[in-house]
Amino acid sequence: MARVVVDVMLKPEILDPQGQAVANALPRLGVTEVSSVRIGKRIELEFTGEPDLDKAREIADKLLANTVIESFEVRLEESADTARTAQ
Amino acid sequence: MTTIDTVELAEKNPDEEQPYAELGLQADEYERIKEILGRRPTQSELAMYSIMWSEHCSYKSSKVHLRQFGEKAPKSDRMLAGIGENAGVVRVSDTLAVTFKVESHNHPSFVEPYQGAATGVGGIVRDILAMGARPIAVMDQLRFGAVDHPDTTRVVNGVVQGVGGYGNCLGLPNIGGETVFDPCYQGNPLVNALSVGVLPVDRLQNKAAAGVGNVVILMGAKTGRDGIGGVSVLASATFEEGSEDSRPAVQVGDPFTEKLLIESCLELYDAGLVVGIQDLGGAGLTCALSETSSAAGLGMRAYLERVPLREPSMLPHEILASESQERMLLIVSPENVEAVLAVCEKWGVLGTAIGEVTEGERLVISWNEHVVVDCPPGSLADDGPVYARPLREPADLILLQADRAETLPRPSDLRATLLTLVASPNLCDKGWITEQYDRYVLGNTVLAQPEDAGLVRLDEESNLGIAIATDGNGRYTRLNPYEGARASLAEAYRNVAVTGAEPIAVSDCLNFGSPEDPAVMWQFAEAVRGLADGCQELGIPVTGGNVSFYNQTGTVAINPTPVVAVLGIHEDVTTRTPMGFAEAGHTIALLGETREELSGSEWAWVEHGHLGGQPPKIDLGHEKKLADVLRAADLVSAHDLSDGGLAQALTESVLRRGIGATVTLTGDAFVALFSESAGRVLVTVKDVDALRAAAGDIPVTVLGTTGGDKLTVEGQFEIPLTELAEAHQGTLGKLYG
């Protein structure tokens, strides 16, 4: 199967309360060397046929990301399944 | 490396061109700034003046009209703080005071509905907190575009989730509000939010940065490049080649930080550690620094490099203009700084000393040894431009008022008309929205949506409580701004009164189009005059509020929409009157008089898409007497009649607890059911003679009795409650669910 991965992140200048909460929790684990945490989401789109990056971009733009506050990246991924069927 | 524009540079290069016009300043305003400073402003000063002299902060177009609220205000010994403070404060008992205010967050909520609405709630809650109060409830007044427009779904879902998300996370009950759909709000949804808080009378805070040598502490979230719209967008875009990461961003709220801010501020107040406090709202540090120092008539020295930043690359003018949420500015005496910072640390919020109060009326701000601002704080906060803008009655108003809805063809099938109306977007049940809000958290909510007013208990011993209702009718106000504003006031007043509470104070959020359009300005002036006159007549003062202009798309303004909030005291919340029919066998009666008033009505709008004529007549003397009757009479239920008339009130009253009713109408049944005459309340009583005796000269019309599982209008129709409920409750879920 052909998989397209969409990574959605809050734009760098946007406040990320979730990331901040994690960053604030790290010292309690004894981690002091991490200065900043940003949290986003990863979406995997399985195409039935050839993966269509343009289509994936359109999906991301219209549905997966809120482009007012988020940016996204679209990339192809060789999934484990794909690798196996390709043998 | 960007060169920082300092006071020194401003003196050295007096003729450098500055983007004042792009920042929204007029040429003569720019000249005045130069006159005040005796030189050109620095980049930071220009940013500050453009923000503080903007319509939003300076009320430059509205000031000349808003004065009436003070001039006409009835004397009230309850008033502890009024207009000009972060929020008005009224005394409700010997020991307790209440503060409340309604504010707009319209433009941000169109750009990013969730965050816009969420930060709207966050902002008004901080205003309440800044007065020394613990916030105890919120309400929201929402206006969206056409119900079936594709973009409305985006805005409705985002806004409702945003209001709920922020309020629920803060643990504040949302006790009511309004939702209205009208195509005039398509490109300009209105998101108004109200918050109310309670404080011991002696905990009242103020914003003055008093006491030379006192320390200025910035508390709460880090400062980032938040802040979209108006001046701050342009501020950065113009000064630099707008690269992606220097562009201001949508403000994102963090209710959990706000919760910590609330708790830490309250602890500081109780420990008596705060001299002055101001929340950071729309204009961020710029507003907080200049207003606190101006209020004290003193100076201030602030060091921007001490401000904790989310993005280290931020420049001084960005730090000053940032609208990052969840921040407060505190003025603290030096010996208490350590204790204050310890409280901050305990609650896990940042607290940073960023400056001190100084002698002389100068606000001096530096950034890494560079002095970037040196100006009189009063020139920013109080001496902004004031305009008496031209007013002109809208050219179409005479024609609009002549086109009366009373002449429209009327239906023969009243049953079908009722079912259509109660399912229409503005009259349908708003449960789909209010169920997304927590209405009962904190355990003191006595009444909440869909009741006429929110009622909250303040004191478990005495059962003292407060009732709040908000109303606004853009269609009435479009037809007649003076009367429309009074109608909104009358309705909110009546909604408070039906619970058995005594109305005592008013807050307002005035949503209008562009003040540069004389027709809009005329609407504004008339609405303010109507509201101020109305408050005078009712004997309750306006304690504060907010003006939102420029709600328009191109040259088309929204319907003028003054939202009026009325606060009342309930002496004993256990005796409150709810809106729904309680059990079978009670007498249903109508208080007040029904006239043939259909112009501006929901019926005219839904069935004919018609807006014309004059709104219903308002008689505030009658409203006052009615309120007295509602408090004195022994009522089982009471429900205000407004949009949709008697048909709507009956529908809501029977569905509230599933108790049917049989009523007989006198006169024209259509008018009786759908007229929107003001000053009317639907009540149920056990003893109708006692009601008549209590009602004095308020007309009492017996309509019928409660009971059964149908709504029956004798000689007209009957509708099973299940069918009625299906019509009334299905609309919003089907559209957006």
Average confidence score pLDDT of chain B: 94
Residue B225 lies in a domain: yes
Q: Is there a contact between B357 and B211 (Cβ–Cβ < 8 Å)?
A: yes
Q: State the angle between helix axes of B481-497 and B620-632 in degrees (0 to 180), rounded to the nearest 10.
A: 10
Q: What is the pLDDT of residue B229?
A: 42
Residue B246 lies in a domain: yes
Residue B539 lies in a domain: no
Q: How far is CA B426 from CA B106, B653, B676, B731, in A?
A: 19, 17, 14, 10
Please judge whether A24 and B348 are an interchain contact, meaning their C-beta atoms are less than 8 angstroms apart: yes
Q: Which two tokens stand for residue B48?
A: 């500050």
Residue B721: which pLDDT band, with cuts at 50, 70 and 90? Answer: very high
CA separation for the pair B49, B34 (Å, rounded): 11
Per-residue pLDDT at B357 exceeds 80 = yes
Name the strands in the sheet holding B445-447, side by side, starting at the edge strand that comes first in the sequence: B445-447, B454-457, B465-471, B561-570, B502-511, B542-548
Q: What is the pTM of this model?
A: 0.93
Residue B12 lies in a domain: yes
Amino acid letter for position B518: P
Question: Fold for domain A2-85?
Answer: Mth169; Chain: A , (3.30.1280)
Residue B133: beta bridge partners?
none
The pLDDT tens digits for A22-77 are 998 999 999 999 999 999 999 999 999 889 999 999 999 999 999 989 999 999 98
Q: Find, among B250, B252, B274, B271, the residue nearest to B351 by Cα.
A: B274
Candidates A11, A15, A63: best to mutate against B (most CBs of B within 10 A) is A15
CA separation for the pair B425, B734 (Å, rounded): 11
**Complex confidence, ipTM:** 0.78
Per-residue pLDDT at B37 exceeds 70 = yes
CA separation for the pair A60, B217 (Å, rounded): 43
Q: What is the pLDDT of residue B282?
A: 80
Terminal Cα distance for chain B, rounded: 52
Whether residue B450 is preceded by a cis peptide bond, meaning omega within 30 degrees of 0, is: yes
Q: Are strands B502-511 and B542-548 parallel, antiparallel or unpaired?
A: parallel
Q: Find, among B467, B502, B471, the residue nearest to B484 by Cα.
A: B471
CA separation for the pair B271, B453 (Å, rounded): 35
Please state the rounded mean pLDDT for residues B346-365.
Answer: 96
CA atoms within 13 A on the CB side of B258: 33
Domain count, chain B: 1
CA separation for the pair B365, B514 (Å, rounded): 34
Domain ranges of chain A: 2-85
Q: Percentage of chain B with pLDDT > 90?
A: 90
Partners of residue B247 in chain A, C-beta under 8 Å? 13
Q: Which two tokens stand for residue B315?
A: 């420049």
Q: Is there a contact between B120 and B195 (Cβ–Cβ < 8 Å)?
A: no
Name the residue of chain A whose CA is nearest to B247's CA: A13
| Rg value, chain A, Cα | 17
Q: What is the pLDDT of residue B248?
A: 56
Please judge whether A17 and B112 are an interchain contact, meaning their C-beta atoms are less than 8 angstroms apart: no
Please state the rounded mean pLDDT for residues B418-424.
Answer: 98
The 3-state secondary structure of B382-405, one letter per residue: CCCCCCCCCCCCCCCHHHHHHCCH
Q: What is the pLDDT of residue B307?
A: 97
Residue A83: which pLDDT band, with cuts at 50, 70 and 90? Answer: very low
Q: What is the pLDDT of residue B405?
A: 97
Please judge whether A13 and B324 are an interchain contact, meaning their C-beta atoms are less than 8 angstroms apart: no
Partners of residue A15 in chain B, C-beta under 8 Å? 221, 224, 226, 251-252, 254, 310, 324-325
CA separation for the pair B98, B103 (Å, rounded): 17
Residue window 100-139, chain B: list those with CB within 8 Å of chain A. 111-112, 115
- Kindly report the nearest CA distance between residue A18 and chain B, in angstroms: 9
Q: Find, among B552, B559, B564, the residue nearest to B495 by Cα.
A: B564
Amino acid letter for position B646: L
Please judge whether B252 and A13 are an interchain contact, meaning their C-beta atoms are less than 8 angstroms apart: no
In this structure, what DSSP letter does residue B246 have?
A: G
- Kindly report the nearest CA distance between residue B352 and chain A, in angstroms: 18
- Kindly report the nearest CA distance between residue A13 and chain B, in angstroms: 6
The pLDDT tens digits for B117-175 are 999 999 999 999 999 999 999 999 999 999 999 999 999 999 999 999 999 999 999 99
CATH of the domain at B261: 3.90.650.10
Please state the rounded mean pLDDT for residues B455-484.
Answer: 97
Q: How far is CA B389 from CA B15, B95, B525, in A?
A: 31, 44, 10
CA separation for the pair B84, B58 (Å, rounded): 11
Residue window 260-289, chain B: list those with CB within 8 Å of chain A. none
Q: Is there a contact between B47 and B235 (Cβ–Cβ < 8 Å)?
A: yes
Domain of residue B29 covers 7-60+205-381
Partners of residue B117 in chain A, C-beta under 8 Å? none
Residue B2: which pLDDT band, with cuts at 50, 70 and 90? Answer: low
What residues of B act catalytically?
A: 56, 105
Please judge whether B252 and A21 are an interchain contact, meaning their C-beta atoms are less than 8 angstroms apart: no
Instruction: For chain A, say whether B440 makes contact (Cβ under 8 Å).
Output: no
Per-residue pLDDT at B242 exceeds 50 = no
Q: Which two tokens stand for residue B503?
A: 């109305």
Residue B185: phi and psi, rounded to 5, are -100, 10
Q: Is there a contact between B595 and B677 (Cβ–Cβ < 8 Å)?
A: yes
Please judge whether A15 and B245 are an interchain contact, meaning their C-beta atoms are less than 8 angstroms apart: no
Lowest-confidence region among B77-81, B346-350, B633-637: B77-81
Q: In the block, which residue shows the tokens 């204790």? A: B339
Residue B10: phi and psi, rounded to 5, are -60, -35
Residue B74: which pLDDT band, with cuts at 50, 70 and 90? Answer: confident
Of B639 and A78, the structure prediction assigns the larger pLDDT to B639
- Kindly report the nearest CA distance between residue A86 and chain B, in angstroms: 41
The SS3 call for residue B136 is strand
CA separation for the pair B18, B23 (Å, rounded): 10
Name the residue of chain B whose CA is nearest to A36's CA: B310
Amino acid letter for position B249: A
The SS3 call for residue B632 is helix
Return the C-alpha torsion angle B307, B310, B314, B316, nearest 10: -20
- Kindly report the nearest CA distance between residue B257 and chain A, in angstroms: 9
Q: How far is CA B522 from CA B61, B518, B542, in A?
A: 11, 6, 21
The SS3 call for residue B555 is coil
Q: In the block, which residue shows the tokens 């690359």? A: B313
Lowest-confidence region among B127-141, B230-244, B616-630, B634-648: B230-244
Per-residue pLDDT at A85 exceeds 70 = no
Name the residue of chain B whose CA is nearest to A71's CA: B244
Per-residue pLDDT at B235 exceeds 50 = no
Partners of residue A16 in chain B, C-beta under 8 Å? 252
In this structure, what DSSP letter does residue B559 have?
A: P
**Considering CB atoms only, which of B221, B245, B254 is closest to A12?**
B245
Please judge whether B249 and A14 are an interchain contact, meaning their C-beta atoms are less than 8 angstroms apart: yes
Return the biggest CA–CA distance within chain B. 88
Per-residue pLDDT at B76 exceeds 90 = no
Q: Which two tokens stand for residue B707?
A: 């009971």
Residue B685: which pLDDT band, with cuts at 50, 70 and 90? Answer: very high
Q: What is the pLDDT of residue A84?
A: 45
